[in-house]
Structure 1
Amino acid sequence: MNEHSEATAGPGEPPFGDGRMDSATETFVAHRSLLFTVAYEMLGSAADAEDVLQETWLRWVKVDAGQVHDQRAYLVRVTTRRALDRLRTMKRRKEAYVGPWLPEPLLTTPDVAEDVELAESVSMALMLVLETLSPTERAVFVLREVFDVGYDEIAAAVGKTPATVRQIAHRARRHVDARRPREVVSPVQARAAVESFQRALETRDLQGLLDVLAPEVVLVSDGGGVKQAAPRPITGADKVARMIVDGLGKARIALTSEPTVVNGNPALLLRVNGEIDGVIAVRVEDARITGLYYVRNPRKLTRIASETPLTLK
């Protein structure tokens, strides 16, 4: 078996068909959604998360699974280490990125939206907060606060002592709590806000936008240098509403929108002249929109056509 033939086999297609490999595949596939969720929450990129899973798979098939006491924990540990390595290299890529960087949106299954804890953990709002952590802080926060992994296991994954991990976890939790949404709204409240925004958007209704946008609303748009986007975040309901209405008026385009669920939360899929233009994810607090996250970069829109399963278990 050469390296190339092993690398080209997918997680569901073992490179060779003996019993050991079948067992390895079965175990990996059973935990695949969990491993993808861990990698995605650490990286904010589905493409990079998939690469991490491939690297984890290649490591896993070389291990004597019978000697692994807790196979789930082992796979999470390997995934975390690979994601940490990639996160450090991604930092340089993001520094060279044109304009604001937003996580890659995922069309998610209904059960993700129903799981309040999971939906919040993968929301655009929280994923952006995680971007402000160091790679190790992010790994520790995700494993501890989202997946409830024990300190000893996290220490093994990030190469720190349990005591150090506790300190990192405390620091990261304090940092995130100071920046995360003040409340978790119900799906019904979030959908109502998105529907109001959709009506105002499609009718270019300035007052309608002002009514649904919170005074401190922030609009972040990600074109990746491929599509036009604001070079920096726009803050304030009046500025955001006028930019939307004026921009649509000048462009004279046929804009349509349809409700969707992105990262477990209500969002809008926008089409211009019938072609997909981007996805707007929202952050809702006190029944009004406090964050608009508009992903236009075509490279980041590959996961909105089919649902991506996510899980905390």
Structure 2
Amino acid sequence: MPEGILIDYNDGRPVMAITAGLRAPSYCGATSGQYGDGGGSSYSVPVTMTAGSELVTIARRPVVIQDFTNPPNIYFMSSVTRNGNSSVNINFGKKGFRNGEKVDFDATFLEILPAATYNEGILVASSTDFTAISNRSLLMTCAYTGRITVNGSTVLPVSGIPFGKWDNPNVSVAFDGTNIIVRSISYSGTDDVTASVTIDLAIFNQTAPVGGDGITMTNPAGQVTFSTQKRPMVYDRTIQITDSFQSIGGGYCHLTNTGTQTRMVNGVANVRTKGIVMSGGSIRSAYNRVFGNYNVSGWDATFNQNISMPLLIIPNMY
């Protein structure tokens, strides 16, 4: 086992191991009603960031489909670029558009604080890497952890950013910003065929940490900013999802729509969002919920696009 800090409450939860290489991002903002011109390729969102920090984006709703044309207009987040310390640009690609239409995406913005902010906190270092958690961080905390069975769709038990792990090569799992969506990928027709899967779920939000047994940190104002009692969100890797399986090392994957796909089925354009297939500790992208079916008069409307936004992977310790 790597060297570091091990916390075990003997309460049925996995032990928490803070080792070199983990990243503990600090919250710095979110989209809040901004939108762009569908004919463009980017728009700006105000976000206050720390000078010298590393921006981390969690794409909560990275795919938008608008039913204005046949087939519909498809927009997808491609990247987020930083503009100094006060705003970011959300960059997007598209398949078709109608003049005058607007497009908006949902995202949460976090940052890895620069070394200059780590005057007080926790430092775990090895010969090749380190983990630093400042007492000035605005860490997201684990508001829910548990095992749920989703039959087709379900709302989250608490609001926040969901991460999940499961083992089923025949289903695709997505999150549309409100609901977890599960669809069968064994079925290849045009109907919206639901499926069932059991998911180990962890949800993170901005609920303030509380002190208790274990490790607690406070800021100069005396506010608790870190507690192993209410576990903070840390991640150990990111992955750019594709249609081929990639290992995530047994961790939890951020749940979101991973792209969009239009398949031609008996001359009909079957338009779907995409989700995550997880099997044996590896993930890939595959079609998920049906948006609609369109008669395109013999035109081949085939389209398959995964988001290029990296997905966060968190370790199995929640």
Query: By percentage of residues, which structure has more helix?
Result: 1
TM-score above 0.5: no
Which protein, 1 or 2, shows the higher relative CO under an 8 Å CA cutoff with sep ≥ 6? 1
Q: State the TM bucket, normalised to the shorter chain.
A: under 0.3
TM-score of the aligned structures, taking structure 2 as reference length? 0.25
TM-score of the aligned structures, taking structure 1 as reference length? 0.25
